[in-house]
Each structure stands twice: as C-alpha cells, then as structure tokens.
Structure 1
Amino acid sequence: MSDSVAVVRETERKYEADDAVVLLDPARLLGLDPGSQPEEQQLEAIYFDTPDLRLLRAGVTLRRRKGGSDEGWHLKLPAGQDSRDELRLPLTRARSKPPAEFVALTRLNTRGTALGPVAQLNTQRRRWVLADAEGHELAELVEDQVNAHTMGKQTTAVSWREVEVELGEHGQVDLLDRIERELLEVGAHRSSSGSKLGRLLADQLQPPAGKDSTKGSANGASKASAKDSGKGGKPKVKRGSAGEAVLAYLGAQAEQLRAQDPLVRRDALDAVHQMRVAARRMRSVLQAYGNVIDGEATRGLTDELKWLGGELAGARDSEVIEERLTSVLHALPDDAVLGPVAAQLTRSLQRRGAEGREAALAALDSDRYLALHDAVDQLLADPPLTARASRPARKELARGVAKVWRRMENRMASADAAAPGEEHDIALHEARKSGKRLRYALEVAEPSVGKPAERFRLRAKDVHTLLGDHQDAVVARPVLRELAAQAHLDGGNGFTHGVLYGLEVVRAERAERELPEAWRRLGEPANTKWLKS
C-alpha cells in the first residue's frame, strides 16, 4: 500500500434527529468544554460502488469528499463494533476515478466489477470538539443537515438531519454511552443505518420479494439461513443439528477469510497468519465432517483452500522464523554474539518475507482467488448436506471427531516407527497437521458437546504445541546453516549462528522428550470416551 495513504481508526455513533429535537449546548449537555463556538463546514461527497452496491452490502464505503479538514478520497472498512478504519488519500486534479490502491483493497467485494458514482451528499455541518480540563480531545459532536440524491438512470432526492458522535484520541467508549443517554433524553434516536449512504440507498439494499438476498452475493452468503436449505430434495438444517453447527463454523471462518483480505493487502500485523488459519480451519472442517457436508462435493473447494494456504506460506514462515531467531538472539549473553548477526538476520529474513509477500499478493490478485470465494459463497448459500446433517449435533459431530482422532493416532504411530533424522521429522510434521485438524474439528463440536470436547481440545493443544515447537526448530536449522555459510563467505564469523543452531537442536529434542507424556494424557479414556457414546 502506498506510503501516502493515511489510516485513521474512527469509533462513532449516528443518531436521527428531526426538527423537533433541540440540541442543548454541548457544555451544558455533558459538562465538557466545547472549546469554542461550533465550526461551520460545507461538505460535498460523491460515493462510488458497483451497480448492485456490493461495497455497501459489505459495510464498506468509498467516497471523494471536498471541504472540511479531511478533504480527499476516503475508504472506510469495518473494524469492529461502532468502529471503522478510514483510509485517506489527497485529492488531485488528475484523479477523478477511485485510486488504484483503494480499488485493490475492495477487489474481493467487487469481484472485479467496475466502480462508479452512485450518490452525492451535500452536508451543512456544525462541529464541536469536546475536551477535558487539560484540553485533551475526548469526542467530536457534529450536527449535519444532509441533502442527498442518487446517481444513475433514476434519481431520488432526500434530506434529513442527523447527529454524529465520534470518540477522540483521549476518549473512552463509556463516554459514547454518556452522550447517548443525553441525546436520547432530548428526543434523538440511534440511526437505523450505519452510514449516510446506507440511509439514502436503503431501498436498493432490499432483495426482490421472494428471493434469497444472499444468493450470488459477493459478501452475504455466510448469512444464508439454515432453514432455507433443503431445496431440490436436500435435507433441511434443523436447530441443534450437526448441519447447523458445521455451517455456523464455516460461516464464521468465511467471514474471517474475507475480513483479512484488505489487512493482508495493507501489510497489517498478523494478517497473513489469520487469513491462513481461516483457510486451514475451513479446509480441515470440510474434511473432518464429510459425513455432514458431502466431502466429494466439496473436494474442489478444499483443494483451493490448500492452494491459498500454500501461497501464503512463504510470507508467514518468514515471520515465524524472524520472530523466533530474533528473540533467541536477544536473549544471548553479549560475549556469545560475534559480528553483526542481528543485522544479517533482519536483512536476510526480511528479503525472504518480501518475496513471500509478493507471492501472497499475486495470489490475492488472481482470478483463481476470486473463484475460491465464489465457491465459498455458493457452499454457504446452498450447502451439499447429507442425510446425517439433520441428526443431533452431539452424536453426529462425535463421529467426525473420532475419524480425525483415529487418523492422528495412525500418524503418531508412524512417527514412532520412523527412522531417526529426516524421516522422523517429516512423520512428526504429518502428525502435527493431523493435530491441527483435530483441534478445529473439536472447535465445531465444543458448543454442542460442552466440557468433554473442551477438555479434549485443550489436551490436543498441548500435543500440537510440542509438535509445532519441533517443526519450527526443524525449519529454522537450514536457515541458520545458510546464514552461517554466507557470513563465512563475507569474511565474517559464523560462531553465533552455530550457537543458535545448537539451541534449535535442543528445542527439538526437548519437544520430543516431552511429547510422549502429553500424548499419553491426550489419549486417556476421560478425554475420548464421549467419542464412543
């Protein structure tokens, strides 16, 4: 993302206030100093979207605003309750179309459909800044008189009055609650829409009578109602059924997958990891519960989720190695660090990370990636449910967990029988992947099964953590050998790399030494007996 893009986290609430509502002076309303008389602003904003409003349906808005202190291009992305991240770029005479950076960040929402102007809003604003006794900005209160009209073949014009309250740098969320109580007292009420554009275009957001609003949507398929399944002879999803539990989990992971897309593109902290985990969870659950959602019918999607995880692996693996080695290096005594080892580590691993990030972004910009999301939407809108999907969740989900558990038992047995060295390392890595699938399968079952599934999942996490430590050490060792060799070629000293290598050997050995006891505890009857009930 361009360095010129400014990112602002805004937490705000909107209120409808008709002409009968009289706003008290902010100083008397809240006991806070508004600092001065209200600032008067004239704002003109043109909003861009696809013809079927895919951005707005996803809670995203893109506008070009003139006037005010933040004049420019604004892209607002959801960031939790009452909050959005607003990305800003300055206006330029040459830029009449949405900036390429913002088009890229909305690609998953638009699925490649061109963006065009859909509405214009002209706002006459009165703005107060509320501060504490020390002058720290706590909140911003604005009163807007809005004149808006849609753009296109048919236009609709409408006017209204509203109040916005946005949290300042030093404000706390409870201040929003205080202000809300006062506003409700004078007759205002929470807006039915989260944005001015949403209010203007509310009628266009309603689906035609008798049609499923999520079918074919770029973003809404995860909200497909379970009770709508069963068309064409497919079994309906009942409350408390296995199908309901699996679909709810898949829907949550699909939402996470979509939410991480703009964050990965912005190089946000941990975004690649979170996207990769969401893809892995979906794939694992589809495979674990093929008895609930037809495994053959979803095989193509599981293959594509595996592909996406692979494309993200380079960026994520570099993050893991850099975090691990940098932490260990900083813990070494000074006399064990010979030469500019930290600088070499950073230079080499950041180069690897940049290459991995380039591959990840190429995947996100591909048609294959959009087709994957189309397949996810289709799965959630019209899931290929089996006859078992309507059975009670507790018993049917236990079948899926038992299948994954048996697979992990086989993988661990193979690791025990493997020859020491590379063969053993590979076998433990395969067991680790089975452990992940077991944990994700248990996450689906836990709400229905309760404590037994939770206890089993926590024990599985202990085993998986040890297997993960072992694998991280296995991956780090060849990187350290390469860095040591490069240091030697550059005329440096490879001593510290050898120290780090030795610590990774110890780390792997410790994981293997502790693994048998953790594995024994995981397999205790108290943890597994519910799988046979």
Structure 2
Amino acid sequence: MSTFLEIEQTYAAPATTEVPDLTRIAEIDLVDSTDEYFLKALYFDTPDLRLAREKITLRRRTGGHDDGWHLKLPGREGRMEIGAALDESPDGETVPESLVQRVRAIVRTQPLVPVAEVDNHRRESVLLGPDGHPVAHFCDDRVDAEALLEGGETTSWREWELELTPETAGTAVGRGVLESGTEVFASVGARISDSPSKLVRALGSTMQTAPVPPRPTEFESPNADDDPFAGILTALVEARGRLLAADPGARTGRASAMRDMLTATREIRSLISLFADLFVNSEAGDERLDHLLHDAARLAALARVLEDADRAHEVDKRMRLLLDEDQTGLVGDDAPGRLTQATRSRLTRSRGRVVAALESEDYLAVLDDLDEVLAAPPAPERAERIKATAIIVREIKRAYIEFRNLRRDALDTIDDPAGTHRELAQLFGEMLVATQTLQTAATLARRLTPYRGSRLEEQAGKLVAVLGQAAVADDTAAVIHRRARQAARRGVDTFGYGVLYQAEMQRFGEVAEQADARRDKTRKAYRRFKKSIAG
C-alpha cells in the first residue's frame, strides 16, 4: 500500500486551445518529457453515493504508470491518495479490503458498486525547476465518461491538471507554481474547474437523482440562555464528525487518532444520556431513543477497547524511556529485550482489538442510529428542553463528589498500615474515571450553559492527565513484575528487574503527590463553577 499527498489544480480547457509554453510558469525552466497514455478508470461508490458526498473518490485505473486502486481523501492542503495493487482484488470489481477499511465508517454495510466509467487520453509532461529536478506534472486530458447509475448519461470534456511533486507539495515554491500556472492558463482561455473531480463531473445529474442517505441536519448556533436543546444537537453532530474523522487513523494504530476517537466517544455517550433525559416526562420521544440508549452501552464497550490501546501505547513508550534513562548499570542483558517485547506485544494485540471493534456490527449500528436521529430529531416540549442545564449541573456535582470520596478513601489507604499498593492503584483508577466524567460534563457546561465551566474543564483535564500518568506507572511496574517472575522461573538473575520495578514504583508515588496537588486547583475551579450558578 502506498500513501502520498496530492496537491493539484484542475482547469477547464477549450477543446481546440493549444497548450501554452509551460516554461512561462514560475519556477519551471524546462519541459523534460511528454508521454501519452490511454487511461481507463472504474469508480466505485455506494448506490446512494456516500463517498462522493464526502468528496472521496475510489477507483480502479489501468493504462498509466500508476496502474492500481486509488482512494483519495480530502484534506486541508490537498487530497491524501492511498494506493493498492491491482492484484489485491481477485476479480477487478471487488474493492481491496485495505481500502474499504479506510472508509468503512462512511459506507458501513452498503455495497461498493461501479458508479462511473472514465476513459482518458492523457498527454503528461514532467516540468523541471532551475536545479533540474521535477517540480510538477502537467496533464492534458481528453475525457469520455459514463455514469453507470440509473438515468446516467455519457459526457466528454477537456481539462488540464497541474500537479506538484511530493518535494514541492506544501512549499512556497509549490504555491508559486500553482498561482503562476493559473495566470498562464487563463491567458489562453483556461479557467479553474468548478467541478471538484472527474467523478463528480462524470456522475452528472445522478448526484441529484440517486437516493440520499440520512445525514445530520445543520442546526442553528444555540443560545445557552434561551434553549440548550439546539446546543445538544449541535454538539452531537460535531462529536459525530470528530469520531468519523478519527476513524481511519485509529484503524492504522495512530495514537493521536485513537485518543481523539476516545474523547469523541465519551462526549457522545454523555450527550446521548443528556438527550434521553429530556424525554423522561415527554410524549415526543420515539423508539429511536431506545436505540440511542443501547448505543451508549455499545460506545462504552468501544471506549474500553480504545482506553486499553491508549494505555498500551503509553506503557510501551514509558518502558522504553525507563530503559533509556537507566544509569545504574545494574540492568542485565535479559531485561530490556523481554520488557520491550512484552509492551510491544500488548500494543499489537490492543490495536487489533480496536480494528475488530471498528469493523463490528455494533459500531456501524451506532453510526446509523446517530445519523437517523440527527437527520430529523424528536424534540421535547420547551418545559422539558430547558432542563438540560440542570441535568448538566447535576452530572458535574455527582462526578466531583465521586472524585472527592475516592480521594478520601485513597488517603485512608495510604495512612493504613495494612493498606496495599494494589488497593491504592485501584482507587486511583476509579478516580481517573470519575475525573474523566467531570471533564466531559464541564465541557458540556461550557458549551451549553451560561455557567463558568471553562476553568473546571481545564483543571479537570490536567488532573486526568496526571492520574493517567499514575495508571501508566502502575501498569509499567506490573509488566516488570510479571517478567521478573518469569525470569526467576528460568533461573535468570532478577536484580535488574527489581531496580526498574522500584524506579517505577517511586514514579507512581511522585505522580500520586502531583495528583493531590492538582486536586486543589480542581476544587477551586469547582467552587468557581458553583458560584456562577448561584449568580
């Protein structure tokens, strides 16, 4: 599989216009070569065009230097192109699974079928800069296309493409080439195309006549003082968007994407609970609310898988740092390899579970249910809608009291001569969960209520980070302890394991002290929030 960033500009060119002198473009000194290709591309999408509606293209193309399957995903600077070999499809019309996974959250259980066929007679020129290296590629395309959906038509057009090489993409030189190229092409009657892709142009009117999947409504910006209900819906739409945006990266094991997905999952669960609470005494609800509540349980299971993967990543990173920082000279040759192998194996297994969870029917059902509700949401009576603020405040109070009580229990365990590290670590883990709930509720308070939730959100987030470090230290120490016991059974000297174990236990104690210091700032932020409620 190949991946690269595609940055290009497409121009609508008159059929009989001659290609201008390409060395008139800034940074272009020489046209190195021009090759001719006859390209044939078959584009795939769901029958309701879910990919095209998200500005995503998926094709199988032959006839050029990049024969293969191509998936193009939109981005801020350009499109990310992911490629797969032709032989990854047994019959030429079954999309390779490696590409399907990248868009599973969008296509879900819908089949991917041919929706357009595009034949392209291309003349491609390599454009060199002053140093003799390729700067861009210019393509003169004469296109014949047919939409394969019901009511589709055939169309023909000519277009030019100016595509930057990977070395110039995203650079000042590259931006200058595109700006200058636009001016040069405009001088001979070519204008920037108003069609986002060959696929959209090939589909033509079928983009409007194809079935439309449920899509979230764009709600007006809410006024928290007036009616927080619209804010709940807006927040759900945005959290859903972040979940989908993180999905491809989470499937490939990118730690930041999994963390983003975890945050979005927690927020969606809280919003579903808040949304459903507004219908307790209302007759405006329907069976979709029951589906959403079931989805909250499904999301809880997904969150556990994501949390495990995130923890596995942090433990692996911590173990490597611990080994790198060791200056004692007492850690033998046996320990480093076996410890890193243990954390790496756990990381691999946890990432596999993430992929399995994201491929599951439960996850795809959650996405379908969210879309169905957000396309046409039920609305409780106004008297019920305004209770959202009180529900958020109640959740914050519950989470803070839970954290406070757990902290008290932790202090008692520390002072108790019979208290064990395992009991203390368990309490810190429960404190982490309570503080995560507090942080999520404070986020909703900031967004959906007139109260001062931003400081509490910030301080709870910092406390979550510190408590997370304590959990990582505890998990890292546990890995060392297990590997030490295994080494002892093999008759290996475990003194070095003991050195590392004691170092990580010391770190747990240090982080625990940091958490207690951070607790004071969280308490002050909570009191500030309560004062804003009182007026």
Q: TM-score range by the shorter chain?
A: 0.7 to 0.9
Match of 1:134 among 110, 131, 136: 131
Distance 1:354 1:391 in 2: 45
Equivalent AA in structure 2 for residue 108 of structure 1: A
2:260 is matched with 274
Distance in 2, matches of 1:310 and 1:453, equals 27
Q: Which deviations, in whole Å up to 9, do the C-alpha atoms of 1:42-66 show, x marking residues without a partner?
A: 2111112222222222333221111
Matches within 5 A, 1:447-486: 452-486=452-486
Q: What are the within-5 Å matches in structure 2 for residues 144-183 of structure 1?
A: 144-152=141-149, 154-171=151-168, 172-174=170-172, 175-176=174-175, 179-180=178-179, 182-183=181-182
- CA offsets per residue over residues 328-380 of structure 1, 9 Å max, x none? 21111160321232221222222222322333332223222221211221232
Q: Say yes or no: does 1:57 pair with 2:50.
A: no
Alignment-derived partner of residue 403 in structure 2: 412
Which moved further from structure 2: 496-505 or 11-20?
11-20
**2:334 aligned residue (323, 334, 340):** 340
Query: 1:184-217 CA deviation, whole Å, 9 max, x = no partner?
Result: 5434444333221012214222268xx9x5xx43
SS in 2 for 1:193: coil
Query: What is aligned with 2:119?
Result: 122
| Aligned pairs (5 A) from 1:87-236 | 87-91=83-87, 95-97=91-93, 98-152=95-149, 154-171=151-168, 172-174=170-172, 175-176=174-175, 179-180=178-179, 182-183=181-182, 185-186=186-187, 187-206=189-208, 213=212, 216-217=213-214, 221-222=215-216, 224-226=217-219
Deviation at 1:271, TM superposition (A): 3.5
Distance of 1:156 and 1:125 partners within structure 2: 22
8 Å Cα contact 1:293/1:383 also seen in 2: no
Measured at CA, do residues 343 and 70 of structure 1 come closer, stay the same or move farther in structure 2, by a change above 3 Å? same
Structure-2 separation of matches of 1:456 and 1:153: 55
Query: How many Å separate the matches in 2 of 1:490 and 1:521?
Result: 49
Distance 1:528 1:26 in 2: 67
- Cα contact 1:285–1:440 (8 A) shared by 2: no
8 Å contact kept, 1:456–1:528? no
Q: Report the CA distance shift for 1:177/1:83 in structure 2 as closer, same or farther (over 3 A).
A: farther
Task: Give distance in 1, aligned partners of 2:497 and 2:507.
Answer: 15
* Greater CA drift, 186-195 or 325-334: 186-195
SS of equivalent to 1:159: strand
1:455 shift after superposition: 2.8
Please give the alpha-carbon distance, in whole angstroms, between the structure 2 residues aligned to 1:368 and 1:493: 48
Cα distance change on mapping 1:336 and 1:414 into 2, 3 Å: same
Q: Residue 259 of structure 1 is aligned with which of 228, 245, 257?
A: 245
Question: How far, CA to CA, are the matches of 1:386 and 1:471 in structure 2?
Answer: 41
Structure 2 Cα separation of the partners of residues 42 and 299 of structure 1? 54
1:327 maps to 321
DSSP 3-state at the match of 1:38 = strand
Distance of 2:275 and 2:503 partners within structure 1: 40
1:235-384 matches, cutoff 5 A = 241-268=227-254, 270-287=256-273, 297=290, 298-333=292-327, 335-384=329-378
Structure 2 residue runs without a partner (length 5+): 414-419
C-alpha change, 1:399 and 1:81, in structure 2 (3 Å) is: farther
Q: Contact (CA 8 Å) 2:25, 2:177: kept in 1 or not?
A: no
Note closer, same or farther for the CA distance 1:492–1:427 as it changes in structure 2 (3 Å cut): same
Following TM superposition, by how much is the alpha carbon of 1:384 offset from its aligned partner in structure 2, in angstroms?
A: 4.1
Query: What is the aligned-residue RMSD (CA, Å)?
Result: 3.2
> Which stretch shows the higher mean deviation, 257-266 or 330-339?
257-266
Separation in structure 1 between the aligned mates of residue 148 and residue 520 of structure 2, nearest angstrom: 67
Give the distance between the partners of 1:26 and 1:450, measured in 2 at CA.
59
Equivalent position SS for 2:122: strand
- CA contact 1:414–1:427 (8 Å) conserved in 2: no
Work out whether residues 27 and 130 of structure 2, in 8 Å CA contact, stay in contact via their aligned partners in 1. no
Partner SS for 2:9: strand
Once the two structures are superposed, residues 373-431 of structure 1 have per-residue CA deviations (whole angstroms, 9 ceiling, x without a partner) of 11221232233444469979xxx776455323212321222213325244443333223
Tell me the amino acid that sits aligned with residue 27 of structure 1: T
- CA, structure 1 residues 365+94, in 2 after alignment: closer, same or farther (shift >3 Å)? closer
| Corresponding letter in the other structure for 2:79 | S
Mapped partners of 1:202, 1:444: distance in 2: 42
Aligned to 2:491, the other structure's residue is in SS state coil
Query: Aligned equivalents of 2:36 and 2:206: distance in 1?
Result: 32
Change (3 A) 1:260 1:273: same
Conserved? CA contact 1:6–1:89, under 8 Å = no
Residue-by-residue CA offset, 1:240-263 (whole Å, 9 max, x unaligned): 642333323322221232233333
How far off is 1:26 after superposition? 2.0
1:414 is paired with a residue whose SS is helix
Partner residue in 1 for 2:416: none
CA distance in 2, matches of 1:478, 1:102: 38
Deviation per residue, 1:472-516 (Å, 9 max, x gap): 223333222111112222333323332232233222222332333
Match of 1:431 in 2: 431
Deviates more, 1:332-341 or 1:104-113: 104-113
State the TM-score, normalizing by the size of structure 1: 0.84
- Structure 2 distance, partners of 1:64, 1:373, is 28
Structure 1: where are the runs of 5+ without partners?
A: 228-236
Amino acid of the structure 2 residue aligned with 1:225: E
Matched, 1:44 2:30: no
TM-score, with length taken from structure 2: 0.84
CA change 1:167–1:291 in 2 (3 A) is: farther
Amino acid at match of 1:55: L
Deviations 1:218-268 (A, max 9, x none): xxx24x1226xxxxxxxxx85664233332332222123223333333344
Q: Rate the CA distance shift 1:148–1:390 in 2: closer, same or farther, 3 A.
A: farther
Q: Percent identity?
A: 27
Work out the CA distance in 2 between the residues paired with 1:389 and 1:196.
Answer: 51
Letter in 1 for 2:230: E
